Amino acid sequence: MGKVRVGIIGIGEIGTTKHLTQLVRHSDEVEIAVLCDLIPERCEKANKDFGLDAKIVTDYRELCTDPTLDVVHVCTPNPLHKEMTILALENGKHVYCEKPLACTWEDACEMREAEKKSGKKLACGLQWRYNTATMEMKRMYKAGELGDVYYIRSSQLRPRRLPAYGVYTNKELNGGGVLMDGGPHSIDLPMWLTDNYEVATVRGVTFDKMKDFPEGNELGPWDPKQFDVEDTAMAMITMKNGMMFYIETAWCSNMQQEAPGIIASIAGTKAGADMVGEGFEEAVRVTGVKDGKLQTETRYPEEKYNMWEYDMDRWVDAITKGGEPAVNSYQAAVVTRVIEAVYQSAETGETIVFD
């Protein structure tokens, strides 16, 4: 079998730092054949930086209908995911779509319908579950070392790291704010850790308190006049089995969490575990009773995981050897449904009940 031919739509931050960077590691199996962006100079630069000779197009329809392509990666702003993904699936391509899969549950369901009809694979970029610490937590959960898990806290409180580039602060062009950015990872992690995507209720709150305070942002200042999304979101999510998780996600809170990135704490009847401190993706602090006494130890698992590599390796396996992608479309669709419910709940002040 020859190389699998891939086209990428959206050669911005994630298209470059994740998709191109990871796919070129697989140049024995994968050929990056077509690049698409409204700004063709970004594709030209990518060809140069990554030593590629990909065809450059500016119309995603040309890429999605290109009969020589096997796979399409969708790395454009959120509201464009649905249209691009469905067109690619209808044209017989496997699709890796960036998170969030879609902006609404209805759109996510349509995308899954197109996936089913096409017989092709649809994956989503929720790679934050695959670092050393989260993999150790999952191992502990599966081995029964945590006992009955009843509560998880999942946070990403960035003091000042709002993505001031692209369209992140524009509701129409981004579909929402931080809940569509860090939110999908924070929502997915507790469900993935416990193999449980059966949501019962969602109660959410959002804030847009910080838009007038653009100073000191690591990724540059933003324009308060171009800011109509939430910068902070919190939600309590109960599951049909009685477990509950709490998420908090913020771009620019005047708070410091213990570590940057998405972190989680998990409480079970036998033990609990937290992602901790410096190198938080590497270490798990385990608390439980041993020899009749409460003890806490910090573990540094020997087996190391790089979430970017793990996620893309599984995807390349899926498209070249028929394996399962790391993140499937059902899980990604439920994440979108929760996001939608958080917005609804924040607007109405009510708890949203899932059927």
Ligand X SMILES: NC(=O)c1ccc[n+]([C@@H]2O[C@H](COP(=O)([O-])OP(=O)(O)OC[C@H]3O[C@@H](n4cnc5c(N)ncnc54)[C@H](O)[C@@H]3O)[C@@H](O)[C@H]2O)c1
CB of 163 to ligand X, least distance (A): 6
Q: Which is nearer to ligand X, 39 or 255 (CB)?
A: 39
Backbone phi, psi, residue 143, to 5°: -80, -5
Residue 37 makes contact with ligand X by CB under 6 A: yes
Q: Which is nearer to ligand X, 127 or 249 (CB)?
A: 127
The torsion angle over the Cα atoms of residues 349, 350, 354 and 355, rounded to 10 degrees, is -140
Q: Which is nearer to ligand X, 186 or 194 (CB)?
A: 186
Residue 36 makes contact with ligand X by CB under 6 A: yes
Instruction: Report which of 104, 117, 239 is spatially closest to residue 176, judged by C-alpha positions.
Output: 104
According to CB under 6 A, which one of 30, 75, 286, 335 is a site residue for ligand X? 75
Residue 98 makes contact with ligand X by CB under 6 A: yes
Instruction: Report which of 75, 37, 84 is spatially closest to residue 59, judged by C-alpha positions.
Output: 37
Distance CA 42, CA 26 (A): 22
* Span near ligand X by CB under 6 A; candidates 36-44, 245-253, 262-270, 323-331: 36-44
CB of 6 to ligand X, least distance (A): 15
Backbone phi, psi, residue 136, to 5°: -70, -40
Residue 222 makes contact with ligand X by CB under 6 A: no
Q: Which is nearer to ligand X, 165 or 300 (CB)?
A: 165
Residue 230 makes contact with ligand X by CB under 6 A: no
Cβ atoms of 248 and 112 closer than 8 Å: no
CA atoms within 13 A on the CB side of 19: 29
Backbone phi, psi, residue 288, to 5°: -175, 175
Residue 99 makes contact with ligand X by CB under 6 A: yes
Distance CA 316, CA 314 (A): 6
Residue 23 makes contact with ligand X by CB under 6 A: no
Q: Which is nearer to ligand X, 146 or 229 (CB)?
A: 229
CB of 229 to ligand X, least distance (A): 13
Burial of 51 (0-12, 13-18, 19+ CB in 10 A): exposed
Binding string, residues 1-20; x marks residues near ligand X by CB under 6 A: --------xxxxxxx-----
Cβ atoms of 287 and 269 closer than 8 Å: no
CB of 36 to ligand X, least distance (A): 5
CB of 10 to ligand X, least distance (A): 3
Backbone phi, psi, residue 270, to 5°: -90, -35
Q: Which is nearer to ligand X, 80 or 89 (CB)?
A: 80
In this structure, what token pair is assigned to residue 62?
């040309």
Binding region for ligand X (CB under 6 A): 9-15, 36-39, 42, 60, 75-78, 80, 98-99, 125, 127, 165-166, 181
